[in-house]
Structure 1
Amino acid sequence: MYNSDTPLRAELPTSRQLLRSTILAAISALVLLVAVVLPAEYGIDPTGVGRVLGMTKMGDIKQQLAAEAAADAAATAQATKSPATGSSGLAAANAAEPAAKAAVVAVPKEPGQAVAPKIEWRDEMSVTLTPGEGTEIKMKLAEGAKARYSWVVEGGTVNFDTHGDAPGKSISYEKGRGVPSDEGVLEAAFTGNHGWYWRNRGKANVKLILRTRGEYTDIKKMM
């Protein structure tokens, strides 16, 4: 015979208590899903808590990486299916290239032609990205403010996303894959942080140099 403490019927939870515990557990799980899982995994932040805690940015980056991986896989599959260029096609391309270059070089400059003025940049930042590494630089801009920019990659190319964010707001201005450089004017759609996210998808280190000027109040590296 073994001695055991058998609980009394009065000590057992009632059906109402069990139901209440189940409902509380379901509500807790739903709150965690909306406030933590959705922002951190998918960049979806209906409550705004994820952006305050910095989890929405994590989810945005995860979604961007997933999209880049899918695009890379699709590009690889397409390249595998496409037939290789024949030797005659390569010969024709090589023969046409010198003629095209000669046509460009042969155009003389007009006497007295105006030379574009050299741009005086306000800030210059540089960062080295290892294979697979990403970085983000943003400026603080008021709605309608403009900033002129120019960035160039030394030693390769990068994938980029020009975007902006503010509490409860986000926007993607432009995206690109395998780009060696870009320049233009960024006009803020709303007051907040606006800038770029770059990722090195190559197999060697690259150096990214960003030059900016304009109506921003601050510029800094976010990650």
Structure 2
Amino acid sequence: MLNANIPPASELPSSAQLLRSTAIAAATAAVLLVTAVLPAEYGIDPTGVGRVLGLTQMGEIKVQLEEEAEADRLGNPAAGTPAGEQRSSLDAVGSFLAGLVVAPAAAQTLSATPPAQATQSDTMKVTLKPGEGVEVKATMAKDAALTYRWTTEGGPVNHDTHGEPTDDPNATHSYKKGRGVAGDDGVLKAAFTGKHGWFWRNRGSEPVTVTLTTSGAYSDLKRVK
């Protein structure tokens, strides 16, 4: 050890170089947090990159599973706390970090409004494997309404009727929730312009088929996950 060569001071990094390296590392970590960690773990996607990469859907499923597990642990047959309320603090953190390192979303996306919708009717069937979750949504303008009815064959499901506004796809508004339900019907009136529909999860040990019938002012009714 006594014979070790000590580098001269001229070869050591300067304070400015160390500060620059630290700043680059911090910025890189913040970008990864906003674009990968928050979408994949919490379903929070302030940049939209997570949804393109499929990470946001993964996070949303994780949050849904955690809510269901907590409700099961508490033995509460009613719906759990809406995801938007549980994640409000995380949303605030994500939005703050996004404002520091990411540019705002494109203006044309925020201002996009679907054209006037004609009345239509549809019937759709989806089959859920044990433990599987399925989501079906339609595009609706603000204050548009549709009547719906869905039933299950093979067992009950957990469900969440909700919507996501066009100008903020990361925000979720829940209209109705239920656990261990074999069917539901009613009128869904859009609280805002965006995607509106249903999420079902089969918590049983056998496949379950959900049959959905809709009629009203909407378009693009389709399975999204």
Query: If the length of structure 1 is used for normalisation, what is the TM-score?
Result: 0.71
CA deviation map 1:133-190 (0-9, x unaligned): 1111001101110011000011210001111113314311111110000000101111
Q: Does 1:201 align with 2:168?
A: no
Q: Does 1:217 align with 2:219?
A: yes
Alpha carbons 1:48, 1:167 under 8 Å: kept: no
Amino acid at match of 2:30: L
The 2-side partners of 1:20 and 1:201 are apart by 51
CA deviation map 1:10-50 (0-9, x unaligned): 33322221121012101221222133322221123444554
Amino acid at match of 1:132: G
Amino acid at match of 2:156: T
**Rg comparison, structure with higher value:** 1
The 2-side partners of 1:47 and 1:190 are apart by 21
Match of 2:30 in 1: 30
Amino acid at match of 2:12: L
Deviates more, 1:163-172 or 1:149-158: 163-172
Alpha carbons 1:147, 1:216 under 8 Å: kept: yes
Alpha carbons 1:51, 1:167 under 8 Å: kept: no
Q: How does 1:61-210 map to 2 (within 5 A)?
A: 61-75=61-75, 122-165=121-164, 166-168=166-168, 169-210=171-212
Alpha carbons 1:161, 1:197 under 8 Å: kept: yes
The 2-side partners of 1:127 and 1:217 are apart by 18
The 2-side partners of 1:170 and 1:180 are apart by 24
The number of equivalent residue pairs is 177
The 2-side partners of 1:191 and 1:176 are apart by 24
Match of 1:43 in 2: 43
The 2-side partners of 1:73 and 1:172 are apart by 22
The 2-side partners of 1:209 and 1:5 are apart by 77
Identity of aligned residues (%): 58
Q: CA deviation at 1:51?
A: 4.8
CA deviation map 1:72-93 (0-9, x unaligned): 22229xxxxxxxxxxxxxxxxx
The 2-side partners of 1:64 and 1:218 are apart by 25
The 2-side partners of 1:220 and 1:31 are apart by 33
Three-state SS of the structure 2 residue aligned to 1:122 is: strand
CA deviation map 1:91-143 (0-9, x unaligned): xxxxxxxxxxxxxxxxxxxxxxxxxxxxxx82111111111011110011011
Query: Which 5+ residue runs of structure 1 have no aligned equivalent?
Result: 77-120
Alpha carbons 1:125, 1:210 under 8 Å: kept: yes
The 2-side partners of 1:45 and 1:218 are apart by 23
Amino acid at match of 2:146: A
The 2-side partners of 1:213 and 1:7 are apart by 78
Amino acid at match of 1:58: M
Amino acid at match of 1:222: V
Alpha carbons 1:129, 1:207 under 8 Å: kept: yes
Q: CA deviation at 1:58?
A: 3.0
The 2-side partners of 1:62 and 1:182 are apart by 25
Q: CA RMSD in A?
A: 2.4
